[in-house]
């Protein structure tokens, strides 16, 4: 590798680290803001017993649970990609929860599987963490857990078949495209049913 090439590689790594730090700070702020608003609403509902406060707290639980779950999912994918050594640069201008690009043409099937597995693993880890940390004494607390549980089910229904097919030799890009056509809103619907069932059982 020439000195010029090494300098270019070092510069790319430096930019990638700077972008990652920026995304981490931004996403961390989102998580803190979402959980703080939810926590304040839950405390308000518990302290007053007002129907309005309870409704606000429940809506906040859905919002916070969704935001935290999708951020965890994206970071899980990113972590899986980086652990495998995949080419996965942090996006220059991240959109929504999406923070990096996975270069299918430059990465192996094994690296795709590692990236893919990371998402559901992060979601189920989040569910376990909330189950251990939350007292589950109020409806909004139960709904926060149920929302993250619903999303964990949803992403698993979509991604586990993709992982399995790629594991047995199918092309990653085509598999994802075909899975999107097959499922439609089914993963989300299954997740909502599962989350609602958990919430009813918890309360």
The distance of Cα 125 from the centroid of its chain, to the nearest Å, equals 11
- In angstroms, the CA 121 to CA 70 distance is 12
Reported as a single tens digit per residue, the pLDDT across 123-150 is 999 999 999 999 999 999 999 999 999 9
Query: Residue 3 pLDDT more than 70?
Result: no
Reported as a single tens digit per residue, the pLDDT across 88-112 is 999 988 777 899 999 989 999 999 9
Q: What average pLDDT is seen over the chain?
A: 94
- In angstroms, the CA 41 to CA 53 distance is 7
- Cα–Cα distances in angstroms (integers) from residue 93 to residues 23, 24, 63, 191, in the given order: 10, 13, 24, 30
Give the model's confidence band at 194: pLDDT under 50 very low, under 70 low, under 90 confident, else very high.
very high
Name the residue ranges covered by the structural domains of the chain.
3-202
Write down the pLDDT at residue 6: 73
Reported as a single tens digit per residue, the pLDDT across 6-55 is 777 788 899 999 999 999 999 999 999 999 999 999 999 999 999 999 99
What is the SS3 string spanning 59-73?
Answer: HHHHHHHHHHHHHHH
């Amino acid at each position: 590798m020439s000195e010029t090439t090494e300098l270019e590689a070092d510069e790319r790594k430096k930019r990638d680290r700077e972008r990652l730090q920026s995304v981490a700070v931004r996403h961390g702020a989102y998580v803190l803001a979402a959980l703080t608003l939810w926590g304040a609403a839950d405390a308000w509902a518990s302290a007053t017993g007002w129907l309005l406060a309870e409704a606000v707290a429940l809506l906040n639980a859905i919002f916070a649970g969704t935001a935290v779950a999708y951020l965890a999912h994206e970071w899980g994918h990113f972590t899986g990609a980086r652990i495998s050594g995949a080419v996965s640069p942090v996006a220059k201008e991240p959109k929504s929860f999406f923070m990096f690009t996975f270069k299918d043409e430059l990465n192996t099937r094994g690296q795709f599987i590692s990236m893919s597995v990371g998402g559901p693993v992060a979601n189920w880890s989040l569910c376990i963490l909330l189950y251990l940390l939350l007292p589950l004494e109020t409806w909004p607390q139960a709904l926060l857990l149920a929302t993250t549980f619903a999303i964990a089910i949803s992403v698993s229904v979509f991604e586990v078949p993709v992982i399995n097919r790629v594991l047995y030799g199918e092309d990653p890009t085509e598999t994802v495209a075909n899975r999107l056509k097959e499922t439609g809103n089914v993963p989300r619907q299954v997740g909502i049913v599962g989350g609602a069932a958990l919430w009813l059982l918890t309360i």
